[in-house]
Structures are given as structure tokens and as C-alpha cells.
Amino acid sequence: MKDKKVIAIISVTSDIGKALAERYLNRGDIVIGTYRSNTGLEDLTEKENCHLLPCDLSNPKSIRNFSNEFQKLNLEWNTFISCPCNPLPLKPFFESDFDEWSDSIHLNSLEQLRVLYNLYPFRSKQGISNVVYFAGGSMNSPKPNFSAYTASKIFLVKMCELLNLENKDLNAFIVGPGWVRTKVHDLILKNLDTSDERYQTTTEFLESKKGTNLEDIFRCIDLLCKKGKQVTGGRNFSVVYDDWGNEELFARLKLNPNLYKLRRNE
């Protein structure tokens, strides 16, 4: 297929990662996905254009091994999407174990950048390649006890702007998916006391059957990639709150380089 793209999905075992992989594969694209445990990926392994490779983001050697295996595939990626997420520790900064807090910072930002750093040589040399990261909640109105996760995501917001500025061959942007019904919420509930307000809020959310539609996340990312560097590069988009399908918005973004970026408002 002439328009077939190569999509690298880091943490294809995540609910969002797997949903994206399925949609790209159904469209006829090639997917290269990483996993720590391949449990639950049996349906993806049966897909002809899907390559699943082990990668543990907590281990730099594992990341290097993954990039080496990626190179052996002799494929050049057009779009890189990073999906790992670790909301822990769910404690105030000075009550957290610092090593756990630091590990969370690494997984939520630094190691995701390490993967990109290692895969950069294997990007497509035909045109501009897309780099997509995920933002998290509490970035605009911070909530207590999420400091590692929140700070990591803000770091990625600025890194997308810097990557986009420094590299003419990359369209780097970050997407806030909103509340998505994923297994991350089970991890949050396991680490909170039942009397905690966040426990109640999360439980109510899961019971409500609400949440961002996975199809919307795919459509948003796909459209932002197609709009290209001049429109979306270096910016932070919300799947839920931004009118990302509106051509008027894209026209405004073209005219104002400061929109949808980390800026101080006077």
C-alpha cells in the first residue's frame, strides 16, 4: 500500500496504546509496539503488520536492546507515540519515598525521551515524522499528591516545544486525553485509602461509565499529525476541551506561535 505508515507505539500493552495499534493496523499501517509483559496481546500477534518487541523503560539496557531489535526490522517510523503512565506515588512530596518519586519522574518523562533518542536515527527520511506524547491531569490547576506525575507531564510539554524547534524533520506535540477508562485507575484505587476523596472520585467515575472515547483519541492524534508541523508542532492539545476538528482553530494556530503552548499570561 502506497500510503502505508510505520507507527511506533511505546507501551502497546496500555489500554490507549493497544486501542491505537488496533486502529492503525485496521487501516493497513505497520505497527511496532513495545511491552514489558505480552499478556493480553494475543490478538495483536496474529496481525501480519504488527511487530511486538520487549522493552522495560525502567532499564536503559532494555531500551538499547529494543532500539537494536527495531533496527533489525529495517523499517523507518513515520509516527512515534509514547503511552507509558505511572501515577504513583499518590502522596505529598515530603511524605513520599524519594526513590519511588524519582522513579516515577523517570518513567513518566525521561525514559520516554530516552526511547525517542534511541529511535531517532530510524525515523523516516522522507518528509517530517510525528512525535506524540501524552499529557496528564492537574497541569493547569494542580491537585495535591500527584507531584511526580504532574511535573513529568509539564516537562514533556516543554520538551515537545523544544524538540519541534530544534528539529525541522519532527512534528512534536502532546495530547491530553482526559479521563479514560483504563487499568491505571485500578492502580490508583489500590494505593489510596477508601476514605480518600480521590478514591471516591475515581470510583464514581468508573461507575458512571463515562470517559473519553478511545476512537476520539485516535481521530485527534491522526488529524493533528496530518495538519503538520506548522499548525500542531510544539503544542499541547486536549482531546476533550479543544475544538481540534475546527479549521478556524487551525488557522489561528498558524498565525499565533504562542497558542496552545506553555506560556505566562500577563
Q: In which band, very low, low, confident or very high, does the pLDDT at 2 lie, cut at 50, 70 and 90?
A: low
pLDDT tier, 39 (very low <50, low <70, confident <90, very high otherwise):
confident
Q: What is the mean pLDDT of residues 236-264?
A: 94
What's the whole-model pTM score?
0.95
pLDDT at 101 over 60: yes
Mean pLDDT, residues 1-22 taken together: 92
Q: Can you tell me the distance from the alpha carbon of 149 to that of 45, in angstroms, rounded to the nearest whole number?
A: 31
| Class of the CATH-defined domain 6-179+213-255 | alpha beta
User: What pLDDT score was predicted for residue 55?
Assistant: 98
Q: Binning pLDDT at 50, 70 and 90, where does residue 266 land?
A: low
Confidence class of residue 140 from pLDDT cuts 50, 70 and 90?
Answer: confident
Given a cut of 80, whether residue 264 has pLDDT beyond it is: no
What's the pLDDT band for 115 if we cut at 50, 70, 90?
very high
% of the chain beyond a pLDDT of 70: 98
What average pLDDT does this structure show over 124-144? 88
Residue 72 clears pLDDT 60, i.e. is over it: yes
Across the chain, what does the average pLDDT equal? 94
Average pLDDT of 37-56?
92
Provide mean pLDDT across the span 62-79. 98
Query: Is residue 184's pLDDT more than 90?
Result: no
Check whether 19 has a pLDDT greater than 90.
yes
pLDDT of residue 1: 47
pLDDT band at 161 (very low <50, low <70, confident <90, very high): very high
